[in-house]
Structure 1
Amino acid sequence: MQQESQKAGIAFLLLLSGLGLAGLFIVLFAEVAEEVMEEEFGLFDVLIIRLFESMAGESMDAVMKFITELGAVWFLGGLSALILGILWWKLKDKWGILFFVIAVGGGSLLTLLLKHFYTRDRPSINPEIDAIGYSFPSGHSMGSLIFYGFVIYLVIRTRQKPWIEGLTVGVLSALIFLIGMSRIYLGAHFPSDVLAGYIAGTIWLILSLIALEWIQWQSRSLVPPVHALRNILASLYRTVQKRR
């Protein structure tokens, strides 16, 4: 029981660390949003956009249009159905299903709320690449980070072979980055929109995963969370007292 209590206490501290990290990203998002609204990101946006304009060409246009579709609502919706099927039929993970829906679905609603709160106009309007409505933050960037980030979590959580985990993290991380870059290249978003989308997506993903881990921990742990924290703090206190 002592060992179980120590493990639970450490897990509790890790969850608190996750909340602290989410808090830091919230502050960062607020700073970015404030500077965007005060138009202090103008030079940053212009320089990045010009860099992408220098890369323009028919072949690059085709590549970027393909990549941007990998973060589109219709594509992520289809993949979501596949992920839910795996969670239900193969993993039998009811909590995973619930929080996947909360992460992806809730992230989409949060994106809409933020867009209508900040009401920033896009660099250009182009329905063909899903560039309509408000610009800040980037929905493709935020949605892809939440979705593919959750998939990375599931692969690591199910303890796949190291090379599978490494390949998944590398490929999906690169994909998340490229989707954001495609939105800038295609003129759908300012670079600061993409940056804000990544930050907001990270916040929502962290909070969703913390909630999922908390629920799963409570369902399988023999030691209540509050008792675990009390025990580990008492242990640390005793260690400090002995050293004195």
Structure 2
Amino acid sequence: MDRETKLSGFAFIVLLVGLGLSALFIMLFAELADEMLDQELAVFDAVIIQLLGTISSSWMDTAMFVITELGSVWFLVLMSLGVLWVLGVKMRDKWGVLFYLVAVGGGSLLTVLLKHFFSRERPSINETIDAVGYSFPSGHSMGSLIFYGFLIYLVIRTRQAPWLQWASVFGLSVLIVLIGISRIYLGAHFPSDVIAGYIAGTIWLVLSLVALEWIQWQQRSPVPPVAALRKVLAPVYRAVIDKL
């Protein structure tokens, strides 16, 4: 089996893993949503909110307000302009631009649809921290996971220095978690809203990246995807048939 076929077959398997991961997270989201509708998460939400209340202070209020703004619509839109400039002008990656818009724009639309579908009321209303409208799932959590997750993907894909990759992945991952915590701390969301936002964001981000990688793979690989998979699986199939 030639090296190109092996690489193509491996890429195909990676795409299948991505689709499988999305399916798993869809089931997790459905289970979480079902428990939310049945009021089975009330104790869990109350315990987490009470724990965060123990660290309440004036300086913590300020820190959480700043952190929550890093996941706000205005900030992500502003940062998106920079990402689009890098993808479109610096990298000349038209597919990257398209699927970035699909990931971020489509994720925003999906958030609105899910919020109106479940129509869960917020723990509190506060316009200064974008705590208006319905609560489930958390838009800040979902949007930040998609946006900063896409940045992590770009850092890894562009093959930066190892230390920069590790620092970026760690820093952006921590930021995503902190944004979710800030929404709970500030009373904008229940903990289950934040978890649901992360799950839904993961689903949409993975599907967007799988589609992007599939198209780019087809363009750069001389071996058609189906043909590559056939070459990879043919020896396995013959071995199974021989044993039977």
Partner of 1:174: 174
Partner of 2:219: 219
Shift of 1:217: 0.3
Partner of 2:80: 80
Partner of 2:35: 35
Partner of 2:109: 109
Q: Give the SS at the match of 1:71.
A: coil
Question: Distance between the aligned counterparts of 1:174 and 1:17, measured in 2?
Answer: 25
Over 2 Å off, 4+ runs: 237-244
Partner of 1:95: 95
Counting aligned pairs with the same residue, the percent is 64
Matches within 5 A, 1:53-64: 53-64=53-64
Matches within 5 A, 1:205-216: 205-216=205-216
Aligned residue type for 1:176? I
Q: Deviations over 1:202-221 (max 9, x none)?
A: 00010000000000001111
Partner of 2:194: 194
| Range with greater deviation from structure 2 (148-157 or 216-225) | 216-225
Question: Distance between the aligned counterparts of 2:84 and 2:130, measured in 1?
Answer: 25
**Structure 2 portions without partners, runs of 5+:** none
Q: Deviations over 1:17-48 (max 9, x none)?
A: 11001000000000000000111000000000
Partner of 2:163: 163
RMSD: 1.3
Shift of 1:224: 1.1
Partner of 1:234: 234
Question: Distance between the aligned counterparts of 2:60 and 2:10, measured in 1?
Answer: 48
Aligned residue type for 2:26? I
Shift of 1:242: 6.9
Shift of 1:96: 0.5
Q: Deviations over 1:193-239 (max 9, x none)?
A: 00000000000010000000000001111111111111111022244
Question: Distance between the aligned counterparts of 1:3 and 1:54, measured in 2?
Answer: 57
Question: Distance between the aligned counterparts of 1:190 and 1:157, measured in 2?
Answer: 34
Q: Deviations over 1:39-59 (max 9, x none)?
A: 100000000000111111111
| Range with greater deviation from structure 2 (146-155 or 231-240) | 231-240
Question: Distance between the aligned counterparts of 1:170 and 1:12, measured in 2?
Answer: 27
Shift of 1:2: 2.8
Shift of 1:129: 0.5
Partner of 1:26: 26
**Structure 1 portions without partners, runs of 5+:** none
Question: Distance between the aligned counterparts of 1:228 and 1:216, measured in 2?
Answer: 15
Q: Give the SS at the match of 2:40.
A: coil
Q: Deviations over 1:79-124 (max 9, x none)?
A: 0000000111111111110000000000000000000000000000
Partner of 1:14: 14
Aligned residue type for 1:74? W
Question: Distance between the aligned counterparts of 1:52 and 1:7, measured in 2?
Answer: 47
Question: Distance between the aligned counterparts of 2:31 and 2:74, measured in 1?
Answer: 32
Aligned residue type for 1:115? K
Aligned residue type for 1:50? Q
Aligned residue type for 2:10? I
Question: Distance between the aligned counterparts of 1:194 and 1:11, measured in 2?
Answer: 32
Aligned residue type for 2:220? R
Aligned residue type for 2:215? I
Q: TM-score, normalised by structure 2?
A: 0.97
Q: Give the SS at the match of 1:197.
A: helix
Question: Distance between the aligned counterparts of 2:239 and 2:59, measured in 1?
Answer: 64
Aligned residue type for 1:133? G
